[in-house]
Amino acid sequence: MHKTIVPAITILLLVSVSGLAFSQANRNHLNPALPMDERISILIRQMTLEEKVEQMSYKSPAIPRLQVPAYNWWNEALHGVARSANATVFPQAIGLAAAFDEDLAFRIADAVSDEARAIYNAAVRKGSRLRYAGLTFWTPNINIFRDPRWGRGQETYGEDPFLTSRLGLSFVKGLQGNHPKYLKVAACAKHFAVHSGPEKLRHEFNAVVSPKDLHETYLPAFKTLVHGGVEAVMCAYNRTNDEPCCGSQALLVDLLRNRWGFQGHVVSDCWALVDIHQGHKITAGPVETVALSLKKGVHLNCGDEYVPHLIDAVKQGLVTEKEIDQALSVLWRTRFRLGMFDPDADNPYSAIPTSVINSPDHRKIALEAARKSIVMLKNNGVLPLKSDIPYLFLTGPNATSVDALLGNYYGVNQNMVTIQEGVAARLYPGSLMQYKQGFLADRDNINPIDWTSGDAKQADAILVAMGLTANLEGEEGESIASADFGDRLTYDLPGNQIDFLKKLRKDNTKPIIVVITAGSPVNMSEISELADAVLWAWYPGEEGGNAVADVLFGNVSPSGRLPITFPQSFAQLPPYENYSMAGRTYRYMTQEPFYPFGYGLSYTRFRYSGLKLSKDTIKKGESIETEITVTNEGKMEGEEVVQLYIQPDHPRNLAPRFALKGMKRISLKPGESVRVSFPVTPEAMSVFDPEGNEGIEPGFVHVFVGGCLPVKRSLDLGMPPVLTARLEVRE
């Protein structure tokens, strides 16, 4: 009996000890005291191949035995937490670009990420793991707005790589926070790379680009954000130079990983992997596609391709489980950095309360941003209006439109201030205001009888809110009123809008003030002739109506600047499908624009004087300081965007005509002066050769400082003269 009992007890003890050890192994990845890489390794070793592949899908399921909750990676925060809960709606990205304000971009992103954490914390407490409730935000869009026809250009920071780099980096820092261990949220630089339309062709399009254009225009912002620590990069739908972006050796391996040293994860644009075999015809089918994408460095699939086809790829010997482990470890690192497997008490971001969501402080930032984004394109003296104006007539479909505030990729809340509401709130008692829509947004009125234009002419001033919304421009599947999948293949506003403006102008000497909402340039030739004043409001967000009213009635002086060139017509542009930068954007366009990059009028008058370089001659690799005095010679306090442009004198390398290399927003009271300085670094003076190599060549560099792009058109439109100095670079 003794001999039979002992072995049984021994076996039982061994099983118990083994079970305890297995249980401990299960829990070790949850131990915050262990190094992160060790925790990730422990977790991956316990997973089956099927579980590993499932975690590489954007809709990652739970693994209860490992205490891993379900997680949906897909979330958006282009200008506020989008497609989710109640949230602050800031101006659309192109409007933020018009503010030319890095600090503002950071503060907006910091507010957005606070709200994102609060929403996530609340969702987790409720057990919600739905899409748009996570902490991985596929923001910002740092593609170059190279052509006004692209409907998604509104998502970008404009046409300039320097402006895009500076604002994108500030936004990423605001989103991700500065904690030494934890990310507040994970940001994502998209769409990598050379991606800016056409929308209709994006699933099959091959963007052919020279090495010079690639490195001089399309890649600088991505490089800046990667070196600045962005957590994720999204590969684009299209091909670039014959390689699908989500399977590109040149982009994902040679450049992103090997040359730039990117350590974060790469996510595919949604269902972009399908395009590799169906649209681009690069691979024979989905199994070959997922093998290609995995080997080139795509860790996360937004789509349904990795599951189940990666398992088939392993079985067929196209990829190894070790390669899957390596990719999965990068994804786990993001989730661990977000603190998803640590106690809430360890992570300060877990304590952010829901009271921050659309809080008064965040609404103040939204109002500030909307005010700073508005660009005054014309004013013959009719603005600002007086709040005691006897009779103001407001018309136009965008006056009461919430869509005109939003753009695309937007959030919602219960207090969206339309233009009509903002204007009405500024009028003093005793002033009369009438509103009638007057005309439809995109087609002729069905009823030919028009009372509005006649009634409007009886007023002391007519305010017309017109332009576009995301129904007419945007992404392929959301622009429901667009015949061109969200792109704008004609440069004009809908003809009925211009026709109505002509009716208002006919036999009428009363002031006509036009407020335009849109995310891309339009033909302004007729509008400029018909209107006495024009404000460009972009998609100004939840406080848009208040911001427009503040500018109209002179509570603030307009200070926005155009982050994209308004050409005279599409005739000035190369073919849309041509990705060469020749003739595009202010940097390479030789014809005079209608409105130049960096342009915007003010209610006050600024004067530039005393431009000084710390040195007139430098050696390659040296920096200089540039100083200038800016004076407010007007009668109103105002903000000015001081801009520094470089023009290398290297025609053999086809250097940009001008290149923005510095910007500062300053506020000056009437009569006040301030001395503004900029560093001019070797990087600012560098040029790219035809092979895409960057360097500094001996010769002269022209330095321009002023309130706008230094072209003749700026002076014609009333901008103050830009000052220039010449710098010699020697060996």
Q: pLDDT tens digit string along 262-292? A: 999 999 999 999 999 999 999 999 999 999 9
Cα separation, 406 vs 126, whole angstroms: 29
Render the burial of 108-124: b for 16+ CB within 10 Å, e for the rest. Answer: bbbbbbbbbbbbbbbbb
How high is the pLDDT of residue 25?
52
Give 649's pLDDT tier (boundaries 50, 70, 90).
Answer: confident
How high is the pLDDT of residue 650?
66
Cα separation, 24 vs 49, whole angstroms: 22
Cα separation, 372 vs 559, whole angstroms: 6
State percent of the chain over pLDDT 70: 96
What would the two tokens of residue 286 be?
């989905």
Write out the catalytic residue numbers: 269, 473
Question: 696 pLDDT exceeds 90?
Answer: no
Residues 587, 658 contacting (CB under 8 angstroms): yes
Question: 654 pLDDT exceeds 80?
Answer: no
Residues 280, 242 contacting (CB under 8 angstroms): no
Going 388 to 394 to 400 to 403, the CA torsion angle's sign is negative
Question: 132 pLDDT exceeds 70?
Answer: yes
For 191, residues 6+ apart whose C-beta sits below 8 A from its C-beta are 141, 143, 234, 235, 236, 237, 245, 269
How high is the pLDDT of residue 621?
86
For 398, residues 6+ apart whose C-beta sits below 8 A from its C-beta are 404, 419, 441, 465, 466, 467, 469, 515, 517
**What pTM was computed for the model?**
0.95
Q: What is the CA radius of gyration of the chain?
A: 28
For residues 387-403, give the mean pLDDT.
Answer: 98
- Helix axes 36-45 and 2-28, enclosed angle (nearest 10): 130
Average pLDDT, the chain: 94
For residues 90-113, give the mean pLDDT.
Answer: 98
Element spanning 171, H or E: helix 161-176
Among candidate residues 39, 29, 28, 333, the one with its CA nearest the CA of residue 181: 333
- CB hemisphere CA count around 578 (13 angstroms): 8
Residues 251, 191 contacting (CB under 8 angstroms): no
Q: DSSP letters of 224-269?
A: HHHHTT-SEEEEPSSEETTEEGGG-IIIIIIIIIIIT---SEEEEP
Highest mean pLDDT among 549-563, 607-621, 690-704: 549-563
| C-alpha pair distances (Å), 17 with each of 20, 24, 30 | 5, 10, 20
Question: 673 pLDDT exceeds 80?
Answer: yes
CATH node for 360-588: 3.40.50.1700
Residues 514, 501 contacting (CB under 8 angstroms): yes
For 490, residues 6+ apart whose C-beta sits below 8 A from its C-beta are 570
Q: DSSP letters of 484-528?
A: TTT--SS-SPPHHHHHHHHHHHTT--S-EEEEEE-SS----HHHH
User: Which fold, 606-730?
Assistant: Immunoglobulin-like (2.60.40)
Cα separation, 463 vs 699, whole angstroms: 52
Render the burial of 705-721: b for 16+ CB within 10 Å, e for the rest. Answer: bbbbbbbebbeebebbe
- The residue whose two tokens read 């680009």 is 209
What would the two tokens of residue 42 be?
């422990």
How high is the pLDDT of residue 596?
97
Spans of all domains in the chain: 360-588, 606-730
Count the Cβ atoms, other than its own, within 10 Å of residue 131: 14
How high is the pLDDT of residue 651?
57
Amino acid, res. 100 = F
Q: Work out the burial of residue 284: count CB atoms within 10 Å of its CB; fewer than 13 is exposed, 13-18 middle, 19 or more buried.
A: exposed
Give 21's pLDDT tier (boundaries 50, 70, 90).
Answer: very low
How high is the pLDDT of residue 19?
44
Residues in the chain: 731
How high is the pLDDT of residue 22?
45
What would the two tokens of residue 288 be?
């070959």
pLDDT in tens, 138-157: 999 999 999 999 999 999 99
How high is the pLDDT of residue 15?
40
For residues 406-428, give the mean pLDDT.
Answer: 96
**Cα angle for residues 23, 27, 29 (degrees, 5° grid):** 140
Count the Cβ atoms, other than its own, within 10 Å of residue 591: 11
pLDDT in tens, 548-575: 999 999 999 999 999 999 999 989 999 9
Cα separation, 237 vs 280, whole angstroms: 10
Cα separation, 507 vs 670, whole angstroms: 39
Residues 556, 602 contacting (CB under 8 angstroms): no
Give 520's pLDDT tier (boundaries 50, 70, 90).
Answer: very high
Count the Cβ atoms, other than its own, within 10 Å of residue 228: 16
Can you name the residues that pair with 510 across neighbouring β-strands?
Answer: none
**Cα angle for residues 49, 230, 276 (degrees, 5° grid):** 50
For residues 319-325, give the mean pLDDT.
Answer: 98
**Cα angle for residues 657, 520, 516 (degrees, 5° grid):** 120
Cα separation, 311 vs 38, whole angstroms: 25
How high is the pLDDT of residue 653?
62
Can you name the residues that pair with 232 across neighbouring β-strands?
Answer: 188, 265
pLDDT in tens, 219-245: 999 999 999 999 999 999 999 999 999
Going 227 to 231 to 236 to 241, the CA torsion angle's sign is positive
CB-based contacts of 679-683 (< 8 A; 24+ apart in sequence): 679/623, 679/624, 679/625, 679/626, 680/613, 680/623, 680/624, 680/625, 680/626, 680/644, 680/646, 680/727, 681/623, 682/620, 682/621, 682/622, 682/623
